[in-house]
Amino acid sequence: MALALFNNLTRKKEAFKPAEPGVVKFYGCGPTLYANPHLGNCRAFLFYDLLRRWMEYEGNKVRFVMNITDVDDKTIRKAGEEGKTLEELYELYAKPFFEDLGKLGVKKAEAYPRATKHIPQMVRLVQALEDKGLAYKGEDGSFYFKISAFKKYGKLSHIDAKGLKPGASGRVGHDEYEKENASDFALWKAWTPDDGCVFWQTPLGKGRPGWHIECSAMSMHYLGETLDIHAGGVDLLFPHHENEIAQSEGATGKQFARFWVHNEHLLVNGMKMAKRLKNFFTLGDILAKNHSPAAVRWLLLCAHYRQQLNFTFESLNAASASVDALMELKFNIESAMKSPKEETKGDVEKCARLCKGFLAAFKSAMDDDLNTPNAIAALFSFAKEANKLAMEGKVGRKGGAKLLDALRKADSVLGILEMGEGKGKEGQVPMEQKAIEKKIAEREAARKKKDFAASDAIRNELLENYGVILEDTPSGARWRRK
């Protein structure tokens, strides 16, 4: 079975194959950098990362590009309020943004194009639309897309373009608006005093791009006229993505994106987590409360991407416990592998069968529109069986290597163990898994030398400082968090 993805263009799950075999052209709408992104935004970035990792797992090369909106209505307003230039605003928020992506284990994109660095591409696109009769200059000097001239308008959001106001009689200058207000939208905005020092002198006049044209121009510049996948949060489906289709397909006459995929929202008390609602947490807020990025990653990936997810600290604690269970599994397998006891051929075969069944279940869940809840259920039933085999002394060097390999394969998609860190309980310092393992190895060495005072001291230190409980089993020490 290959990946079936829910395509919002057809509102169906469809078998996904890139147009060029083995190479996926994937564009995701990135952040508007006028504040630190919140966990809702992180949900979108982690969804892109999951999709990208799954397509890589299936043997594709993924050319992933994510834009940075560094000029639009919001950034201009924020820069004005703070007395900063757009460049200064970018400098302020770009570094923490990329650091957050790194902390969350998001793999690097091929490019992170900034809108302000691609103005000529946007101007050329508007000119191409004007040449085709799809754009016109309003009396205010701005350029608008003429939706009555583009018959396919509405094909993504499924609004009826015939019912919309024709031509210049209805126009919208703001970047964001509701479906009811669908009308000719701004491609290029003529300068007004509110823009202050934000403008470019171009063949279209003095002004700045509309938000929607930015993604059309940059995605096609980096990935070509037809993308395999275009992603974003569901809030972007209309008008942003509908307008991107109109601009891109209007100019090239070719299909712009073959698959349109959207993640559902992260909520707080049933409301979308949003900057304007002031109900948000940034990753920094969460880490300051001594939660780990691995728990955040787990929480945001665990729910299916097309289901809304309500954020609570209880669910974050549960995610943290799951991360610990996964680390514990890895440690238990590694400890069992060090046991001097020879494993039988039958034991090795048992491990091999367990791995095969697990990876098949994991793949079929992920191929089913990235069904992470099912993939994680498969992981936990694998963990239960593998822990049991290890406890029974049936995991040795060979069987353990197979179990670890399967775990690592799944983790190349989930990206949790590779972050290599756990979380201390409240008031405790998060401790790296490696550091825990180092302490346990020191204790083992002390026990071998029959230095029980030292071994007990390490056991107490792990418990008191890090909430880690040790249990001695026939195949070595196991640990879990209190």
Q: 422: how many CB neighbours lie within 10 A of its CB?
A: 25
- Output 265 or 291, the one with its CB closest to ligand AMP: 265
Residue 301 as a binder of ligand AMP (CB under 6 A): the answer is no
> Using CB distances below 5 to 8 A depending on partner kind, what does residue 332 bind out of Zn ion, ligand AMP, none?
none
Q: Residue 349 corresponds to which tokens in the numbers above?
A: 């075969």
Nearest CA among 367, 336, 465, 365 for reference residue 59: 367
Q: Residue 457 to residues 423, 441, 443, 461, 464: CA-CA distances in angstroms?
A: 22, 13, 9, 6, 10
Supply φ then ψ for residue 49, to 5 degrees: -65, -40
User: Of 250 and 430, which has the nearer Cβ to Zn ion?
Assistant: 250
Measured from the CB atom, is 40 or 400 closer to ligand AMP? 40
Beta-carbon contacts of residue 81 (< 8 Å; ≥ 6 apart): none
- Taking CB under 5 A as the binding criterion, the range among 23-31, 192-200, 311-319, 373-381 that sits at the site for Zn ion is 23-31
Interactions with ligand AMP, residue window 207-266 (CB under 6 A): 232-233, 235-236, 263, 265-266
378 token code pair: 């498969």
3-state secondary structure of 289: coil
120: cis peptide before it, omega within 30°? no
> Who's near 362: CB < 8 A, 6+ residues apart?
375, 378, 379, 410
Query: Which residues, listed in sequence order, are joined to residue 201 by a DSSP beta bridge?
Result: 206
165 versus 304: smaller Cβ distance to ligand AMP: 304
Residue 475 binds which one of Zn ion, ligand AMP, none, with CB within 5 to 8 A depending on kind?
Answer: none
User: Segment near ligand AMP (CB under 6 A), from 37-45, 85-93, 102-110, 458-466?
Assistant: 37-45
Q: Please, which of residues 259-288 interact with ligand AMP by CB under 6 A?
A: 263, 265-266, 272-274
Q: Give whichever of 219 and 332 is closer to Zn ion, judged by the CB atom.
A: 219
Does position 113 interact with ligand AMP (CB under 6 A)? The reply is no
From the list ligand AMP, Zn ion, none, pick the one residue 419 interacts with, judged by a Cβ distance below 5 to 8 Å according to partner type.
none
129 binds Zn ion (CB under 5 A): no
Compute the distance between CA of residue 186 and CA of residue 168 in angstroms, rounded to an integer.
Answer: 11
Q: Which lies closer to Zn ion via its Cβ, residue 262 or residue 297?
A: 262
* CB of 272 vs ligand AMP, minimal distance in Å: 5
- Could you say which of 3, 29, 106, 217 contacts ligand AMP (CB under 6 A)? 29
User: Can residue 475 be called a binding residue for ligand AMP (CB under 6 A)?
Assistant: no
Distance (Å, rounded) from C-alpha 259 to C-alpha 6? 8
**Contact criterion met (CB below 8 Å) for 197 and 87:** no
Quick one: DSSP state of residue 114?
B
What does 399 bind: ligand AMP, Zn ion, none (CB cut-off 5 to 8 Å by kind)?
A: none
3-state secondary structure (DSSP) of residue 305:
coil
Q: Is 29 in the site for Zn ion (CB under 5 A)?
A: yes
What's the closest the beta carbon of residue 93 comes to ligand AMP, in angstroms? 10
Which residue lies nearer to Zn ion by CB, 210 or 396?
A: 210
Count residues contacting ligand AMP (CB under 6 A)? 18
Coil, strand or helix: which one is 138?
Answer: coil
Nearer Cβ to Zn ion (189/350): 189
Angle (CA) 302 306 309, round 5°: 55
* Complex with ligand AMP: residue 70 or 324, whichever CB lies closer: 70
- Cα 82-88-93 angle, rounded to 5 deg: 90
- List 5, 6, 31, 228, residue binding ligand AMP (CB under 6 A): 31
Rule CB under 6 A: is residue 297 a binding residue for ligand AMP?
A: no
x-marked contacts with ligand AMP along 61-80 as a string, rule CB under 6 A:
--------x-----------
Distance CA 162, CA 147 (A): 10
CB of 240 to Zn ion, least distance (A): 6
Of 393, 362, 354, nearest to 473 by C-alpha is 393
| 215 interface partner picked from Zn ion, ligand AMP, none, CB below 5 to 8 A per type | Zn ion
Residue among 29 and 204 whose Cβ is closer to Zn ion: 29
Number of residues that bind Zn ion (CB under 5 A): 2
Distance set, CA 383 to CA 163, 330, 377, 481 (Å): 56, 9, 10, 16
Within 10 angstroms of residue 51's Cβ, the number of other Cβ atoms is 26
> What is the Cα–Cα distance from 304 to 372, expressed in whole angstroms?
6
Q: Does 156 bind Zn ion (CB under 5 A)?
A: no
- 75 vs 292 by CB, closer to ligand AMP: 75
Among 109, 215, 300, 406, binds Zn ion (CB under 5 A): 215
Q: Are 195 and 186 in contact (CB under 8 A)?
A: no
| Residue 156 touching ligand AMP (CB under 6 A) | no
In whole angstroms, give the CA distance from residue 247 to residue 376: 40
Q: How far is CA 157 from the centre of its chain?
A: 23
Which one of ligand AMP, Zn ion, none interacts with residue 272, CB within 5 to 8 A by kind? Answer: ligand AMP
When asked if residue 220 is in the footprint of Zn ion (CB under 5 A), the reply is no
Find out whether 328 and 477 touch, Cβ atoms under 8 Å.
no
Site of interaction with ligand AMP (CB under 6 A): 29, 31-32, 40-41, 43-44, 69, 232-233, 235-236, 263, 265-266, 272-274
Site of interaction with Zn ion (CB under 5 A): 29, 215
